[in-house]
Structure 1
Amino acid sequence: MDSKKVIFISLIICYIGFGVINPILAPLIREMGLEERHAGIVISIAALVLLVTAPVWGRLSDRFGRKRIIVTGFLGFSISLAVFALLGWIGMKGILSLNLVFVLLLFSRVLFGLFFPAITSASQALMADVTTTSERSAGMAIIGAATGIGFIIGPAIGAALSSIHLVFPVIITSILSLCAMVLIIVNIPPTKPTLTKKQIKVNLKQVGLRPYLFIGICLMVMIVMLQITTGFFIQDRFSLDAKETAIWFGIGLFCVGFMMALVQMTIVQKRTLPPHILVRIGLPVFIVSFLILIFIHHLAGFIIAFMLIGAGGGFLMPGYTTGISLAVGEDDQGAAGGLTAAATGIGSLLAPVMGTELYRFHPEAPYWTCIFISIFLTIYVFVSHRSLTLQRAKELAN
């Protein structure tokens, strides 16, 4: 099987594991007797570990080869999901004290944060290895499409199978992760290290790198804030029970993933749009989506808002990942993947606690915050026009 297809399929499974927890987390936390802030802490601890380890995994993939790191990542990822599912079941049954279960849940999320970036950073680097500079946006769009499809299937699995038991979808995803590991072992040939000389750290002053990292961090703050608060938001606004919340949140995340994959497969891959143009298209769409979420008090408005969030993300995600990839040298794509994953980690670290605290202040506060971030970023990408277009010139020169 072609390496691009293997990356595509394996990342779909990876993001299924990432997304399957989203529709069940809010009702699971409440069913266990925990509070909203505990959900934020559970997500933040994983993000903190991800932030620390992502650049390390990226460099390790440069030094030891992509395949070995991806396989290691999937093994640990599968274990983390299995432990989370077991602890969720124990917590709902009340077998152990609530404080002990919460501490153990944090441990399972530490494992998640440790191994997830091994998959994503090494896979992004492998995609960069098998694409030319002119193909890079299309290659990163494949990764983005896999992300979107994973977000379609993951929440759908979470919503559909939660009717059996809230943790049952997580068990299924743990098994799928082992299947992805086997797929990589069988189909990806051994990959050679790309570091042939003494390791040199990526210079954050490289043209175009810092603006795209900043955009990536802000984007992940918004996405994670949305993920962590929307379950509570729709449950409270529409007076839903735990299972109804999981189902409707799953439908919303399905819409996000569907639109994200659609945009990237039909527009981003077909047109060679530079990264800064992709970013400029996506940000206004984000602003409109959050306004709809706030002002339309109907489940139809909730679905429309999530479709627009997916469309905006379909432009923004390949925009900033391509920008980061093109800003570094060809021998440093593992490091580029690590930086991309680190941006995810920073955003995921800041957003959960901030989002849940804003939600406790006012249910609409997280979404007004996302609007202000999007407006600020829109201004920023035009102010940073010179840096972003110089990066484009560097791409064309290569």
Structure 2
Amino acid sequence: MSADTESPAKPAHPPSEAGPALHLPPLLFSALAGTMAMMAYVAVIGPAARQLGLPEWVVGLSITAGGVFWMLLARWWGGISDRHGRKPVLLIGFGVFAAIYLMLAASVDLALRGQLGALALIVLLVGTRSLIGAVYAAVPPCTAALIADHTPPPERPACMAKLGTANALGMVAGPAAAGMLAAHDLSLALYGAAALPAVALLVIWFALPHSTSSATCAPDGAARPKPSVKLFDPRLRLASLTALIAMSSVAVAQVLVGFIAIDRLGLDAQAGARAAGLALATVGLALIASQQFVMRLKSVPLTRWVSTGTLIAGIGFASVALVHTQAQLLACYAVAAFGMGLVFPSFQAMAANAVHRHEQGAAAGTVSAAQGLGMVVAPLAGTLLYRIAPSLPYLLVSGLLFALALFVVLHRPLPLSSEPTSVREHP
């Protein structure tokens, strides 16, 4: 791998090639709103499915369907943003996301009122989540690529951690708000979540400068080379593998938390929604806490963050097998999330540091596609394994994380690649 995973002092391209400073608040707010919307669905859909008499696999299939389209289109969206700019792609992503989410909320509302049959609801859940996955796939690569466009490599882990903190705040606020609304009306929580991407759309439209696009990455008059990132690009192999296992672990934890709260703790549907929301909020707080370390300890090698984080997360997930109280559930999820908070900004920075400036969108899209693959496989596999034994998905996730920690320790990075002269700064 060509990224500097051993020391941030040896980036794949020199710090002077970073673009003008990026105004982060609009980008961070949009990430916050998008994560809130996505996490609200996770917190509400399990209890809603129970209330409607739908089996667990329906929830897993709906999230898996979204992951399929996320996986298929993330690289495409990243490449589009390399050619046409980040802001237009973000606007399209959030705009269509808001419209489809409103349709999803209306479908669940009609079903809860007895005006929509189970089969029609299943089709709509899978269909709308598929479309949401297809358009939301534009957001993670564009936000990560924007940061890479305007940040020198040694500073990227800290900036990615700020983006991760915004996502973590969304994980706190989204489930908490959804849980409170779901206590009164499950469909109301989804309507509220549908408004969030619309707000993000307005923020991006008015507050994100038009100049923050990949077009600024090449000097005036210089030809911008075509991105050459391949699907299985060896430069991104470790970052993509880490993204796949990390997102699979998170997806399993998200999709099963409502069922664990109901089945293991003996709660009803509404109490289960509140417990799931509280657990996911605890996850967000733990993510925020751990990402402060990545922001402040800039000299720590990225591979060390990944190996340490996966070990901690593996312990947390394995401990869920012993849970019998809500406090224990929250503690296990907090430990797992603390470890994940060290992992996510690290593999994003590894990917950004591995490629050239004109390839940032494609690289971010490749890693995002790996995350999408995790969203494809993990929810459906997790819900199927859950029917065999509730602890089995968590133990499997823990084993994968321990194996990844060992692989990262033994992994040797590829030599650094040189930057094409066509995208270097003018003397």
The two structures share one fold, judged by TM-score above 0.5: yes
What does 1:121-200 align with in structure 2 at a 5 Å threshold?
121-191=141-211, 192-194=213-215, 196-197=223-224, 199-200=226-227
Say whether residues 1:256 and 2:283 are aligned partners. Answer: yes
Within 2, Cα distance between the matches of 1:205 and 1:248? Answer: 40
Deviation at 1:174, TM superposition (A): 1.8
From 118, 122, 131, the counterpart of 2:138: 118
In the alignment, structure 1 residue 81 sits paired with structure 2 residue 107: no
Is structure 2 residue 373 aligned with structure 1 residue 353? Answer: no
CA shift at 1:68, angstroms?
0.5
SS in structure 2 of the partner of residue 34 of structure 1: coil
Determine whether 1:236 maps to 2:263: yes
Q: For residues 300 and 61 of structure 1, do their structure 2 counterparts lie closer, same or farther at Cα, with a shift above 3 Å needed?
A: same
The structural deviation recorded for 1:199 is: 2.6
The match for 1:270 among 276, 296, 302 is: 296
Alignment of 1:271-350 (within 5 A): 271-272=297-298, 273-350=300-377
Q: Which of 122, 127, 140 in structure 2 is aligned with 1:107?
A: 127
The alignment partner of 1:200 has SS state of coil
Q: CA deviation at 1:287?
A: 1.9
Aligned length: 392
Equivalent of 2:78, from 54, 58, 61? Answer: 58
Distance in 1 separating the partners of 2:190 and 2:346 = 31
| CA drift at 1:355 | 0.3
How many angstroms does 1:296 deviate by?
Answer: 3.7
- Measured after TM superposition, the shift of residue 206 of structure 1 is 5.4
Do the aligned partners of 1:152 and 1:254 also contact (CA within 8 Å) in 2?
yes
Letter of the 1:70 counterpart: L
TM-score w.r.t. structure 2 length? 0.88
What aligned pairs does 1:6-21 form with structure 2 within 5 A after superposition? 6-21=26-41
Pair 1:85–1:204, CA change in 2 (3 A): closer
Q: Which amino acid aligns with 1:98?
A: A
Which amino acid counterpart does residue 331 of structure 1 have in structure 2? H
Partner AA of 1:148 in structure 2: A
- Structure-1 residue corresponding to 2:18: none
Q: Is this contact kept in 2: 1:279–1:319, CA < 8 A?
A: yes
Instruction: Provide the residue aligned with 2:13 in structure 1.
Output: none
Q: Does structure 2 conserve the Cα–Cα contact (< 8 Å) formed by 1:274 and 1:319?
A: no
Structure 1 portions without partners, runs of 5+: none
Q: Distance in 2 between matches of 1:360 and 1:174?
A: 31
Q: CA deviation at 1:204?
A: 5.6
Partner of 1:4: 24
After TM superposition, the score normalised by the length of structure 1 is 0.94
Larger deviation: 217-226 or 199-208?
199-208
Q: CA deviation at 1:212?
A: 1.4
CA distance in 2, matches of 1:204, 1:116: 20
Pick from 209, 216, 227: which aligns with 2:254?
227
- Tell me the distance in 2 between the aligned counterparts of 1:323 and 1:2: 20
Give me the whole-angstrom Cα distance separating, in 2, the residues matched to 1:283 and 1:126.
27
CA distance in 1, matches of 2:224, 2:25: 31
What SS does the corresponding residue of 2:24 show, helix, strand or coil?
helix
Shift of 1:101: 1.8
Q: Is the 8 A contact 2:236 2:363 kept in 1?
A: no
Match of 2:65 among 45, 62, 66: 45
For 1:135, what is the secondary structure of its paired residue? helix
Structure 1 counterpart of 2:97, one-letter code: F
How far does residue 104 in structure 1 lie from its aligned partner after superposition?
Answer: 1.6
Partner of 1:69: 89
The aligned counterpart of 1:210 is: 237
Q: Compare the two structures and name the one with the higher helix fraction.
A: 1
Give CA deviations for 1:153-176 in whole Å, capped at 9, x if unaligned. 111111111122112122112222
Contact kept in structure 2, 1:217 and 1:344, CA below 8 Å: yes
Report the CA distance between 1:318 and its aligned residue.
0.8
Q: Deviations over 1:316-345 (max 9, x none)?
A: 101111111111111111112211221111
CA distance in 1, matches of 2:175, 2:214: 36
Gaps of 5+ in 2: 1-20
Aligned AA for 1:4?
L
- 8 Å CA contact 2:313–2:336 kept in 1: the answer is yes
Deviations 1:33-64 (A, max 9, x none): 21111111111110001111111110111111
Does the 8 A contact of 2:307 with 2:404 survive in 1?
no
Q: State percent identity of aligned pairs.
A: 27
